[in-house]
Structure 1
């Protein structure tokens, strides 16, 4: 059987790489990780433009090449329908797909104002006013999901695709000390304590600081 390969970029900065990796963990698919060189011009564009590229994350598996995070989620769900990547209930599953799609395609002001950087923890950080509507919308999504499905994850007792998609946002809120509601703060800690998330963070902290200027270019 062919070995699955997942192409990634910076663990510290690339939220798209994190999402793809968490999705593979949710599915239970073992992958060989291939890191794109930090000085690759297309990889740099992915980091600076805050958008998913054809390079990362890319899952190569049994002849298939899948790059977009939501495409990876759907592909893995087809392969492993019993992994629980989406809720079993039809209505909840539609809800999960909707909020996952929303984070995938929106919130550009938040991405620009608060770039993912897992090595930093600010006690206070000035938040660009344009990012506040994004933060408020994310809190609304989280509160609706946690209230409807009971937590501690967005759709109940186990993590789903939605949690993988929002994990980089939770880390941003922690990194930049974003003031949020008690429920949202608890959810951020749920993400932060998730064993795959802890594994990724430790690897990110061990990553060389090769692109320091990204903090000012984002």
Structure 2
């Protein structure tokens, strides 16, 4: 059987790498990380051969190549159904897909204003006005999910939605975004989550010269 690999970039800076990695861990998939540096011309050329958009993460599994985060989520949900990456209830499942799709395709201003940087910690940070509606919308989504499904994760137990919003938790911590108790507790839950704690520990060990990467919007 061909080796299963997940192509990722910086653990400190790449939110999309984090999402794909969490999804693979949630699915119980045994895989080898394939880290690449897109600043290196040779590795960039290699990535271009893998995917014209140079997107990460990229999952190679059983001869299947998947390079979009939600596509990875759906693929893993199909191939690893016992992992229950999506809720069992059809209504909750539709809700989970909707909020996951929203973060996947939107929130450009939030990403631009608050780039992921796990190792950084600001005591205070002024968020420019264009990003504030995005921050507020994330809070609305979290409140709705936590109220509807009872927490501690967005749909009770870990799902695709938590993998999608985990990088937002890091951004809110890095930039000292003011959170109400329920939202702060959700961020605490994400940081205490075993795979997330593993990723954060690795990110903190990453060399500082690694540059920020945000290539999938």
Moved more, 25-34 or 120-129: 120-129
1:181 is displaced (CA, Å) by 1.7
Q: Deviations over 1:80-117 (max 9, x none)?
A: 11111000000000000000000000000000000000
The answer to whether the Cα contact below 8 Å between 1:115 and 1:172 also exists between their aligned partners in 2 is yes
Q: How many residues align?
A: 206
Tell me the distance in 2 between the aligned counterparts of 1:202 and 1:43.
25
SS of 1:34's equivalent in the other structure is strand
**Normalising by structure 2, what TM-score?**
0.90
The answer to whether the Cα contact below 8 Å between 1:7 and 1:55 also exists between their aligned partners in 2 is no
**How big is the alpha-carbon RMSD for the aligned residues of Structure 1 and Structure 2?**
1.9
Q: Which runs of 5+ in 1 are unaligned?
A: 45-52
Tell me the distance in 2 between the aligned counterparts of 1:43 and 1:99.
33
Label 1:155 to 1:111 Cα distance change in 2 as closer, same or farther (>3 A). same
1:54 is displaced (CA, Å) by 3.9
SS of 2:13's equivalent in the other structure is coil
**Normalising by structure 1, what TM-score?**
0.90
Q: Deviations over 1:119-156 (max 9, x none)?
A: 01111111111111001100000000000000000001
Over 6 Å off, 4+ runs: none
Label 1:125 to 1:194 Cα distance change in 2 as closer, same or farther (>3 A). same
Tell me the distance in 2 between the aligned counterparts of 1:192 and 1:121.
15
Structure 2 match to 1:48: none
The answer to whether the Cα contact below 8 Å between 1:43 and 1:55 also exists between their aligned partners in 2 is no
Structure 2 match to 1:91: 91
Tell me the distance in 1 between the aligned counterparts of 2:42 and 2:94.
33
The answer to whether the Cα contact below 8 Å between 2:4 and 2:60 also exists between their aligned partners in 1 is yes
Tell me the distance in 1 between the aligned counterparts of 2:57 and 2:66.
8
SS of 2:71's equivalent in the other structure is helix
The answer to whether the Cα contact below 8 Å between 2:10 and 2:210 also exists between their aligned partners in 1 is no
SS of 1:174's equivalent in the other structure is helix
Structure 2 match to 1:131: 131
